[in-house]
């Protein structure tokens, strides 16, 4: 895993081109340069089945209207929120989910009260919050030491280690092989996601172009 971390650091420009910024452990900027936990959380709801560029446009518009705060969305009415979300696929469903989440956050006393590990079971009860979304916002917006399980990370780590693992097994594998550390969890998530998106495709991985090829078991089969 140390070798992987080293390769991710050396290839930060490739990782940046997929949307991740390798930076200070507690910075919000890992999430495509965002500057607040609120923007990370709102975009995490919007990005499902939607182009990231459209999500960033909506976040910019919210910011221009002083609405890029989860709690301020709780005071909007649903039709207004739908108007802001129109460039996003399934905008009506997402507006409803974001509004409901915003009200939940307001009731709980703020985002910092919600984005803590102890509240994970409660997060998972919110509409539109699955394990991947919950764990991603806990790590990147809440700076909580948890490793989100994604299909990209599962596929790349399975191929690199030569050990086929399920999404459920993945966090346990990371916890047993990496010390608990925000920077390490973030760089592994970002790096594995970047490799999964850019090279390690499901049917035909582009191993000849991948910067993990010298450490990847799949490449030596």
**Using the 8-state DSSP alphabet, how is residue 126 labeled?**
S
Out of 37, 59, 141, 160, point to the residue binding ligand SF4 (CB under 6 A): 160
Residue 36 engages ligand SF4 in binding (rule: CB under 6 A):
no
Q: What is the rounded distance in angstroms from the CA atom of residue 145 to the CA atom of residue 135?
A: 9
CB of 160 to ligand SF4, least distance (A): 5
Long-range contacts (CB closer than 8 Å, 24 or more residues apart) made by 47-50: 48/90, 48/94, 48/128, 48/133, 49/89, 49/90, 50/88, 50/89, 50/90
* Residue 196 phi, psi dihedral angles, 5° rounding: -60, -40
Q: What is the rounded distance in angstroms from the CA atom of residue 112 to the CA atom of residue 189?
A: 22
Residue 14 engages ligand SF4 in binding (rule: CB under 6 A):
no
Judged by CB, which is closer to ligand SF4: 130, or 162? 162
Residue 193 engages ligand SF4 in binding (rule: CB under 6 A):
no
- What does the angle CA 78 – CA 82 – CA 84 come to, to the nearest 5 degrees? 120
Judged by CB, which is closer to ligand SF4: 95, or 200? 200
Out of 156, 184, 188, 194, point to the residue binding ligand SF4 (CB under 6 A): 156
CB of 191 to ligand SF4, least distance (A): 10
Out of 20, 219, 220, 221, point to the residue binding ligand SF4 (CB under 6 A): 219
Residue 212 engages ligand SF4 in binding (rule: CB under 6 A):
yes
Spacing of C-alpha 145 from chain mean position: 14
Residue ranges binding ligand SF4 (CB under 6 A): 156, 159-160, 195, 199-200, 205-207, 210, 212-213, 216, 218-219
């Amino acid at each position: 895993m140390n070798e992987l971390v080293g390769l991710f650091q050396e290839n930060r420009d490739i990782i940046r081109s997929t949307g991740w910024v390798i930076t200070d452990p507690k910075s919000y900027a890992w999430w495509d340069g965002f500057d607040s936990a609120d923007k990370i959380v709102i975009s995490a709801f919007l990005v499902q089945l939607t182009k990231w560029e459209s999500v960033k446009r909506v976040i910019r518009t919210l910011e221009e209207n002083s609405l890029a705060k989860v709690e301020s969305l709780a005071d909007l009415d649903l039709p207004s929120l739908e108007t802001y979300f129109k460039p996003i696929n399934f905008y009506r469903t997402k507006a409803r989910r974001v509004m409901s989440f915003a009200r939940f956050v307001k009731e709980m006393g703020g985002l910092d009260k919600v984005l803590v590990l102890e509240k994970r079971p409660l997060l998972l009860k919110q509409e539109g919050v699955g394990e991947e979304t919950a764990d991603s916002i806990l790590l990147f917006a809440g700076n909580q030491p948890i490793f989100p399980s994604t299909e990209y990370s599962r596929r790349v780590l399975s191929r690199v280690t030569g050990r086929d693992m399920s999404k459920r097994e993945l966090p346990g594998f990371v916890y047993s092989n990496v010390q608990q550390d925000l920077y390490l969890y973030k760089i592994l998530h970002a790096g594995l996601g970047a490799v999964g998106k850019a090279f390690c495709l499901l049917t035909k991985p582009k191993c000849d172009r991948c910067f993990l090829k010298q450490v990847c078991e799949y490449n030596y089969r």
